[in-house]
């Protein structure tokens, strides 16, 4: 299970932006996705975010729902596939918003 410990801002190719709770490995995948033209830009806004209950809940959802790419897998870094993580309404979206609010982002 990957721990999430940073917040980044993703700029889609259409210029719209969103925030993601991520980690340095996933940020590296995002940087590669920029290089491959799958997204326009990524920048880290906050490092070492607190491990709150909301973060732990969101992190569990991401790990259970997505097959996370990693920089240790050559196929992932040679051919990154950008996946924008869904945030379903209810406890996951609420947890996401709590994390952003606690870190004064958004």
- What mean pLDDT, rounded, does the chain reach? 93
Reply yes or no on whether the pLDDT at 96 is more than 90: yes
**What does each C-alpha distance from 32 to 40, 60, 63, 79 come to in angstroms?**
11, 24, 21, 8
Look at 79 and 63; give whichever has higher pLDDT: 63
pTM (2 decimals)? 0.91
- Over residues 24-67, the pLDDT tens digits come to 989 999 999 999 999 999 999 999 999 999 999 999 999 999 98
């Amino acid at each position: 299970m990957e721990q999430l410990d940073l917040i980044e801002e993703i700029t889609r190719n259409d210029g719209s932006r969103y925030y993601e709770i991520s980690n340095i490995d996933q940020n590296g995948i995002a940087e590669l996705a920029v290089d491959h033209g799958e997204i326009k830009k990524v920048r880290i806004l906050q490092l070492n975010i607190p491990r709150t209950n909301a973060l732990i809940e969101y992190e569990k959802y991401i790990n259970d729902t997505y097959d996370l790419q990693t920089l240790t897998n050559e196929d992932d870094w040679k051919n990154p596939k950008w996946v924008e993580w869904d945030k379903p309404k209810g406890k996951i979206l609420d947890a996401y918003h709590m994390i952003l609010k606690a870190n004064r982002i958004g």
